[in-house]
């Protein structure tokens, strides 16, 4: 869907990633890469490791083994296995601010207006000029179709509007990539379409995105590459037309038929 990346280093690259919670191994050696301007979708049953993988990408979760690289730069670690932690807090902050995450449950601050929500991180984290951040926030709220809601509070918005505000907040950080964790699963079907439209528009702009989604149509429409996770491993991956049109694995065929049935 996108033009081939000119930058040889993917924005995000994961190599042989392992993640466990105690004895429960959630990721068992996963490799993914998100080249600049490409959309990668992660699909799979609940518990397959999709959201955990996404949270490991921007270091919200510590992994026990494997490499995480941001634009070719490896995350530095101290310790090993369950004691492994990022070694450089400044590096973690820099990576996180460049990988904006949009969560399933919006995570907007209830006591702030929508405009304040969107401009808060650029001002406090990036130390941007307040007037500059406000102008950018208003522009991004216009972009996602809720520019008229700047002065209202999250509780006064529908779920779809709140999620669009969360996307504007992520965009206002001017990140290298956007990470979406089930961005439509908390929404009613008619509100879901508002958010899907915004994500499709961002894909057309050539933004780098990694999307965990249960929406197979969204994955088929916006992705350059789809990864099917099963029990912490990549069972199958490839271009969406191949993965959805001619799946090779029995597990993927079963998963797709169950999602169609639902």
Over 70: is that where the pLDDT of 261 sits?
Answer: no
Give the pLDDT band (50/70/90) at residue 4. very low
Q: Are 149 and 190 in contact (CB under 8 A)?
A: no
Over 80: is that where the pLDDT of 7 sits?
Answer: no
- Residues paired with residue 43 on neighbouring β-strands, in sequence order: 228
Q: Is 41 exposed, middle or buried (0-12, 13-18, 19+ CB in 10 A)?
A: buried
Q: Which of 242, 98, 226 is nearest to 170 (CA)?
A: 98
Distance, CA of 180 to chain centre:
3
Pairing of strands 233-238, 225-230: antiparallel
Rounded to whole angstroms, how far apart are CA atoms 258 and 45?
A: 10
Architecture of domain 12-261: 3-Layer(aba) Sandwich (3.40)
Which pLDDT tens digit goes with each residue over 45-95?
999 999 999 999 999 999 999 999 999 999 999 999 999 999 999 999 999
Where are the domains positioned within the chain? 12-261
Local structure of 259: helix, strand or coil: helix
Give the pLDDT band (50/70/90) at residue 1. low
Determine the straight-line distance between the first and last CA of the chain, rounded to whole angstroms. 28
Q: 244 Cβ partners below 8 Å, 6+ apart?
A: 216, 219, 220, 226, 256
Which pLDDT tens digit goes with each residue over 233-249?
999 999 999 999 999 99
């Amino acid at each position: 869907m996108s033009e081939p990346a000119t930058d040889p280093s993917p924005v995000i690259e994961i190599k042989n990633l392992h993640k466990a919670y105690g004895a429960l191994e959630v990721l068992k050696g996963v490799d993914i890469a998100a080249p600049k301007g490409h959309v990668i979708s992660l699909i799979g049953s609940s518990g397959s490791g999709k959201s955990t993988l996404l949270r490991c990408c921007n270091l919200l979760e510590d992994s026990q083994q494997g490499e995480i690289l941001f634009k070719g730069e490896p995350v530095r670690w101290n310790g090993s296995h369950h004691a492994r932690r990022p070694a450089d807090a400044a590096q973690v902050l820099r990576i996180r601010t460049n990988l904006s995450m949009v969560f399933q449950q919006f995570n907007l601050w209830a006591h702030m207006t929508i405009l304040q929500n969107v401009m808060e991180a650029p001002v406090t984290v990036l130390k941007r000029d307040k007037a500059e951040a406000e102008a950018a926030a208003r522009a991004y709220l216009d972009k996602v179709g809720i520019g008229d809601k700047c002065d209202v509070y999250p509780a006064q918005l529908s779920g779809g509007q709140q999620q669009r505000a969360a996307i504007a907040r992520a965009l206002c950080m001017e990140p290298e990539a956007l990470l979406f964790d089930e961005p439509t699963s908390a929404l009613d079907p008619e509100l879901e379409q508002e958010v899907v439209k915004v994500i499709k528009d961002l894909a057309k702009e050539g933004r780098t995105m990694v999307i965990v989604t249960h929406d197979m149509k969204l994955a088929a429409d916006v992705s350059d590459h789809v990864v099917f996770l099963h029990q912490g491993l990549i069972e199958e991956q490839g271009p969406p037309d191949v993965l959805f049109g001619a799946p090779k694995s029995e597990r993927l065929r079963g998963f797709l038929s169950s999602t169609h049935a639902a």
